[in-house]
Amino acid sequence: MTDIATTAPIYLPLTAADRCDRCGAAAKVRAVLPKGGELLFCRHHFNEHEARLVELSATVVESAGELV
């Protein structure tokens, strides 16, 4: 049996060019879905969809300047 080391995925920081998938505002949150893909949200739309993202077991990565 071989032990396989795994590392956490590396997420690039959000930049001013990253936009919310719902409204086009500046993205502040990246939600990575367990089966692949990611969604970018502004703070407002993340708050609106947070419960569903938790249900889907999405990995949420917030912009460093936005942690509250």
Check residue 29 and give its pLDDT: 97
- Please give the model's pTM, rounded to 2 decimal places: 0.79
Domain ranges for the chain: 29-66
Check whether 67 has a pLDDT greater than 80: no
Q: Which long-range contacts (CB under 8 A, 24 or more apart) does 61-67 make?
A: 61/11, 61/29, 61/30, 61/31, 61/32, 62/28, 62/29, 62/30, 63/13, 63/14, 63/27, 63/28, 63/29, 64/13, 66/28, 66/29
pLDDT digits (tens, 9 = 90+) for 17-34: 999 999 999 999 999 999
